[in-house]
Amino acid sequence: MSNKIVVVDDEEAMLSLVERIVTGQRDITVLKAKSGPEALEMLTVHNAGIVLADIMMPGMSGMGLLDEIKMRWPDKTVIIMTAYGSIESAVEAMKKGAYDYITKPFQYDDLLLALDRAFERGRLIDDKRYLQEEILKYFGFSELVGNSKEMSAVYDTIRNVAATSATVLITGESGTGKELAARAIHFEGKRREKHFVPVNCAALPEAILESELFGHVRGAFTGAIRDNRGLLEEADGGTLFLDEVGDISPQIQVKLLRVLQNGEFRPVGAVKDKKVDLRIISATNKKLEQEIAKGAFREDLYYRLKVITLTMPPLSERKKDIPLLADHFLKKYAKKYEKEVTDISASAMSYLMNRPWRGNVRELENALARAVVITKGTVIDEKDLFPEECGEINVGFKQAKEQALMGFYKTYLTISLTRNKGNISKTAEECGLLRQSLQQIMKRCGINPEDFR
């Protein structure tokens, strides 16, 4: 933050006194202005974050100057100087956005303390701005990698819808980056300073999901020992992201429809409604039109959710982006795991380009993360990506069979776990295995479900 302040007073003696006090005790540059217009001119030229202004001046008063500053530079910190008998004016100035006031005549320490607090506020504002910029870098477009025409269309849609509050339905196969797209819409939009609240609708039983979304009051059910705010309230002012929205029950669909229609909902067990102002972005890998035809999804809710539709392309349709994605994940996991891995061999890249990637970008990411961990060199080779598929048969039949079976397990379970985001119960059901049997196989293969979440 700049160490400059602008002091505004029509009396030269007061300007000189403030300059003498401040520069004698602090490393601060004082810019002196005898009127409001002169102060405004200084602020357009100099990077000064703090203004110390007398409230009673001929022409433009301190109050008028405050209004003009807050209109042009909302983050600037204004301290009002007022005579002892004009406290009411100081209070009015605070309501209009002044940060603090001091009364004339003032003690030297009072002036310095007010300025110290003002500079601390400025530093906090700078820190907040920096953090917001860093968050935007991370959650904005930076995690959506690719320059194919398919991804260019995705970027265009995100930019167009981010400035609005329209509901968005994101469709696409598992692992295509639907949540990343939702985050980009939020952090590129007007609600970026509020919460982005994601919830996986497929991961929770109906009763728990209802309580999580809408909250509950004490005594609503066994174990409800206190009132609980739901995710709708957490997202108030921001964005609620409903992942796998096609899996929600008819009962919750009805309650969600009411939120979309008039911004109202009722916590579980409550007798009064609550209101929220939020944006809802939803995502699904299901064909909701087919779910509607089966009677599993409400048609009116569907049209409320899909004011804007964004389709994330599968990796098989944007193979041009694989080298960029691979390099992105290589750098990401080399940094995370503190390994000196700098490149991918030509044969390994060819292998990546020709693989079907049924688990899409998530499967590619997992492959690169694993390769970074297991490689012994600085360059990732074919054998580092899927070692079970790249070895020569130079062992006995039994051992070769075991290796082949292990390779099948790893490939098959990687795809299934990717599709189910590491959910072991859903993966076991999909594979036709008992949960315990699946866990035993995963342990043998060294597969960690956390890598897929």
For 316-381, give the DSSP string: GG-GGGHHHHHHHHHHHHHHHTT----EE-HHHHHHHHHS--TTHHHHHHHHHHHHHHH-SSSEE-
Write the CA distances from 325 to 172, 206, 261, 331, 340, integer angstroms. 18, 36, 39, 10, 19
For residue range 1-28, list pLDDT tens digits in order: 678 999 999 999 999 999 999 999 998 9
Stronger pLDDT, 87 or 15, i.e. the higher one:
15
> Which pLDDT score is estimated for 137?
55
> Which pLDDT score is estimated for 388?
64
Long-range contacts formed by 259-265: CB under 8 A, 24+ apart = 259/232, 260/167, 260/301, 260/304, 260/305, 261/304, 265/214, 265/230, 265/232
**Cα dihedral 129/133/139/142 (nearest 10):** 180
Token pair, residue 423, equals 């959910």
Task: Give yes or no for residue 329 having a pLDDT over 90.
Answer: yes
> Which pLDDT score is estimated for 393?
45
* Separation of alpha carbons 445 and 98, rounded Å: 63
For residue range 251-289, list pLDDT tens digits in order: 999 999 999 999 999 999 888 999 999 999 999 999 999
Q: Once rounded to an integer, what is the mean pLDDT over residues 421-434?
A: 87
* Separation of alpha carbons 64 and 59, rounded Å: 9
Strongest mean pLDDT among 90-104, 136-150, 383-397: 90-104
> Which pLDDT score is estimated for 140?
61
Mean pLDDT of the chain: 88
For residue range 399-420, list pLDDT tens digits in order: 667 766 776 787 778 778 877 8
> Which pLDDT score is estimated for 301?
96
Q: Once rounded to an integer, what is the mean pLDDT over residues 210-237?
A: 88
Q: Once rounded to an integer, what is the mean pLDDT over residues 213-225?
A: 85
pTM exceeds 0.85 for this model: no
**Which of 59, 52, 11, 16 has its CA nearest to residue 37?**
59
Task: Give yes or no for residue 138 having a pLDDT over 60.
Answer: no
- The pLDDT > 70 percentage for the chain reads 93
| DSSP code string of 182-232 | HHHHHHHSTTTTS-EEEEETTSS-HHHHHHHHH-B-TTSSTT--S-B--HH
Lowest mean pLDDT among 272-281, 349-358, 442-451: 442-451
Helix (H) or strand (E) holding 252: helix 250-262
Q: Once rounded to an integer, what is the mean pLDDT over residues 407-436?
A: 83
Stronger pLDDT, 141 or 362, i.e. the higher one:
362
Cα within 13 Å of Cα(69), Cβ side: 34
